[in-house]
Every structure is written in C-alpha cells, then in structure tokens.
Amino acid sequence: MADDETFRLILALGMAVFLPVALYHRIRSQASGEKLDRRQEGLFILFTLRPCGLAAMGSLVAFVLNPAWMAWSSVPLPAALRWAGVAIGLPTVALGIWTFRSLGRNITDTVVTRREHALITSGPYRYVRHPFYVTTALAFAANALVTANWFIASTGFAALALLVVRTATEEGKLVERFGDDYRRYMARTNRFFPRLRSAPPAE
C-alpha cells in the first residue's frame, strides 16, 4: 500500500500540471460557440469512444483519490515496471502541453473542423500528423504501468483503439477541408511515428 501511495502522489502531481493546461485550451476553443456534428464520426465510434474514455479517466481519478477503490482490478507488477511508467509519463505531459499550445483554438474532440480552423504543421505536427493520439497512447501506457491496474489499462487501450479507427475518417475530413495542402502534409509525415529522416521546415 505504501508503494500505491507513492505512485498515487506522482499521478496527482502529473494531473495537477497537465489538466489546467488542457482545460484552459479546451475552454478557449469553445469561445465561438460553434456546434460540431459529432455524428460524422459514425455511430459506432460515437457511442463507444467516449464511454471508454470516461471509464479510463474515471478509474484513474478513483485510483488517485484512493488506490483501495481500484484494488479489485490491481495486478502484481515489479516496482521497476511501475517506475518505467513514471519515466514514460514525464515526457508525455510535456508533449501534451506542447500539442495543446500548437493547436490553440483549433482543438476539437471530433472529426469535424471549426469554421475558422487552420491547418497546423508546426510544433509536434511537424513530425507526426496526430501528436494528440501519440500523447494519448503514451499516457495510457504510463497510467497502466504506474497504477498496475488491468481495468485502467483495458479501458484506456480500448479508447485508444477506437481513436486509431477514427483516424481515417478524421483525415478524410481534413482532405475535404484543406485539399492539396493536407495531401502534401500527409506525403511528408506519418500518422503516429516520426520519420527517420529530418523533418522539413513547417510551412
């Protein structure tokens, strides 16, 4: 239980750093009051992605508040693996903040772009087309290891799998919106993994 307390405090500190930044940018992006049609994701994604994400986040918050609440789904992991999760989580917080700052008011939680949406190819978008999803994958991996909890792991990776499935629809919408500019961007970047060659300057 002492180990759980240590990792609980580390997670609480990470959330205290990251969540205010995420909340600020999410609220700022809503300033236009524009309604987004989330049905364009497809009904399957619409009705599965958010419940999985909420289950993952809710169970993580429960662990941070009181690890005993999630003891029913804990698994025995060596301390070294849990500290590896901490090591993954530290740069993940920085990547998430960098991504939020780069996107600015363009942030949405769906595949539909805003009327004033701009194509961002700078910051982490210089290296991959979906740094938010990279951040999400790393965060879920870090959370699974740090908490040593199969429910947090399974709900997180279910949400991640649905995001990956949704990516094709999202990119189709971006091609519709930005045309050849987005096609050229796709030609020089990968979805999730940076290319080994040096990234070209952002346009």
**H, E, C per residue of 36-60:** CCHHHHCHHHHHHHHHHHHHHHHHH
In the predicted structure, residue 173 carries a pLDDT above the cut 90 = yes
Q: Are 60 and 103 in contact (CB under 8 A)?
A: no
**Cα-only R_g, the chain:** 18
- For residues 80 and 118, what is the distance between their CA atoms, to the nearest angstrom? 43
Domain presence at residue 160: yes
Contacts of 195 (CB under 8 A, 6+ apart): 127, 189
pLDDT tier for residue 200 given thresholds of 50, 70 and 90: low
Residue-range definition of the domain harbouring residue 130: 2-30+43-188
Identify the residue with better confidence: 109 or 63.
Answer: 63
| pLDDT of 161 | 97
Helices and strands per DSSP (H, E), number in the chain: 6, 0
Confidence of residue 1 (pLDDT cuts 50, 70, 90): very low
Round to whole Å and give the CA distance between 120 and 100: 11
Q: What is the DSSP letter of 104?
A: G
How far apart (Å, rounded) are the C-alpha atoms in residues 117 and 177?
9
- How much of the chain, in percent, has pLDDT values that exceed 90? 80
Average pLDDT over the chain, rounded to whole?
92
pLDDT at position 198: 53
In a domain, 38, yes or no: no
Q: Is residue 143 part of a domain?
A: yes
pLDDT attached to residue 114:
83
pTM confidence score: 0.91
CATH number of domain containing 84: 1.20.120.1630
**pLDDT tens-digit series, residues 7-56:** 999 999 999 999 999 999 989 888 878 888 889 999 999 999 999 999 99
Residue 171 neighbours by CB distance under 10 Å? 16
pLDDT of 184 strictly over 60: yes
Structural tokens at position 83: 């500290």
Domain membership of residue 201 (yes or no) is no
Residue 194 lies in a domain: no
197 found inside a domain: no
Residues whose CB falls within 8 Å of the CB of residue 133, separated by 6 or more in sequence, listed in order: 160, 163, 164, 167, 191, 192
pLDDT tens by residue, 122-157 = 999 999 999 999 999 999 999 999 999 999 999 999
Q: Tell me: pLDDT of 199 over 60.
A: no
Q: How many domains does the chain have?
A: 1
Residue 162: inside a domain: yes
- Rounded CA separation 69/165 (Å): 32
Q: What is the C-alpha to C-alpha distance for residues 97 and 20, in angstroms, rounded to an integer?
A: 10
Q: What is the pLDDT of residue 31?
A: 80
Estimate to the nearest angstrom the gap between the alpha carbon of 185 and the chain centroid: 21
| pLDDT top residue among 36 and 197 | 36
Separation between Cα atoms, residue 111 and residue 170, nearest integer Å: 5
- Does 35 map to a domain? no
